[in-house]
Amino acid sequence: MVIAGLTPSRIPLSSFFCWCVELLLRWRLRVSHADRPPRTNAQRHEDCGRCGGRKNEDLMARSVQCCGDNRPFCGGSVYNSEWVVTSAYCIYGSSAYELEILYNMWDWTDSSVTQVVTRSVAEIIMHPQSDYLKVDNDIALIRVSSAVDLTLPGIMPVCLPSSTDNYADQIGIVTGWGTLTYYGSLTNKSKEVKVPIRSQAECASSLSANYNTSIMICAGLGNDNACQVDWGGPLTVDVNGQHHLAGIVTQDIGCAPSRPYGVFTNVPYYVAFIENNANTGTFC
């Protein structure tokens, strides 16, 4: 992710965006409770508010990271104790046994800085109509091998939006371990950048014919945007102190010189896909 005019070109987080996770390749990237009734969206929103995440400083706890050869490869978002939301592009062609999820990772060069929690992967669910070449339906769900403890510091689920939410003209926050410039160097520590989410009319007129206003959103300001290795990570919007997952970073990143904006998976469109498939595990 790049930010114009700053060196390094991303803002370091003063503390952790706790819904981010890191994916590793052997990516170090809900047990079913029969007695627990399915939770409504309202209950999920209440839970994620109770868990925290009401400050920008808490963003890192909601993300995860994925790497190849112990280097960042992709990001993802903590949905609940067993499931991670990421980009289909990140797991295309991979099997569960190849992947690992890292929670509470901040500095991938020094895992002693935080209490990193690692999980292998039990299941991958890609959207059945995903097409990573066109960035269509660029969303996937990962179920980890055993539930993580959401009371641990630095691990917290992101809030799921409603299917009708529209974040145009609002400020989103992208977090990740991506490159500082297009084809540039990776950052050791997770960073964040604020990006204005554009209207669909502006996105459609500025981007390629493959841009689909139903399943995509776009965001960015100049060079301020997601970049390589931010793929799969969260674009969140602060709604009354709770961070809602508005988008997922796709490979159609906005830091390339020829790209006016970055393209993100429009998460509200996929609420039913997430709820119907990530139907085990616990919230806060």
pLDDT band at 138 (very low <50, low <70, confident <90, very high): very high
Q: Are strands 242-249 and 234-239 parallel, antiparallel or unpaired?
A: antiparallel
- Cα torsion 51, 52, 54, 60 to 10°: value is -110
Query: In this prediction, what percent of the chain has a pLDDT beyond 70?
Result: 75
pLDDT, the chain, mean: 78
The three-point CA angle 224-228-234 to 5° equals 70
Say which residue, 164 or 69, is predicted with more confidence.
164
Most confident of 51-55, 232-236, 255-259: 232-236
Tens digit of each residue's pLDDT (9 = 90 or more) over 155-176: 999 999 999 999 999 999 998 8
pLDDT band at 197 (very low <50, low <70, confident <90, very high): very high
The three-point CA angle 19-90-78 to 5° equals 15
Contacting residues for 226 by C-beta, under 8 A, at least 6 apart: 1, 174, 176, 178, 193, 195, 233, 235, 249, 253, 254, 255, 262, 264
> How many CB atoms sit inside 10 A of residue 177's CB?
30
Tens digit of each residue's pLDDT (9 = 90 or more) over 99-131: 889 898 887 777 778 888 999 999 999 999 999
CA gap 188, 17 in Å, rounded: 15
Does the structure show a pLDDT above 90 at 255? Answer: no
Tell me, what's the pLDDT at 111? 72
pLDDT band at 184 (very low <50, low <70, confident <90, very high): confident
Q: What is the pTM of this model?
A: 0.82
The tokens for 196 are 């204005």
Tell me, what's the pLDDT at 36? 29
Say which residue, 264 or 58, is predicted with more confidence.
264
Do residues 275 and 268 make contact, with C-beta atoms less than 8 angstroms apart? Answer: no
Tell me, what's the pLDDT at 161? 97
Domains and CATH numbers, the chain: 11-277 (2.40.10.10)
Do residues 235 and 219 make contact, with C-beta atoms less than 8 angstroms apart? Answer: yes
Residues, the chain, total? 284
**DSSP class of residue 135?**
T
**DSSP class of residue 269?**
G
Report the SS3 class of residue 131: strand
Tell me, what's the pLDDT at 10? 40
Contacting residues for 59 by C-beta, under 8 A, at least 6 apart: 13, 16, 17, 18, 19, 20, 53, 173, 175, 192, 236, 243
Q: Are strands 71-78 and 61-68 parallel, antiparallel or unpaired?
A: antiparallel
CA-to-CA separations, 90 to 14, 138, 231, 233, 238, in angstroms, rounded:
27, 9, 7, 10, 26
CA-to-CA separations, 21 to 97, 159, 178, 214, in angstroms, rounded:
18, 15, 13, 27
Per-residue pLDDT, averaged over 219-228, amounts to: 83
Tell me, what's the pLDDT at 57? 39
pLDDT band at 47 (very low <50, low <70, confident <90, very high): very low
The mean-pLDDT minimum among 86-95, 139-148, 176-185 falls in 176-185
Does the structure show a pLDDT above 70 at 153? Answer: yes
Per-residue pLDDT, averaged over 93-103, amounts to: 88
The tokens for 113 are 């800085």
Tell me, what's the pLDDT at 19? 72
Does the structure show a pLDDT above 80 at 194? Answer: yes
Tell me, what's the pLDDT at 64? 65
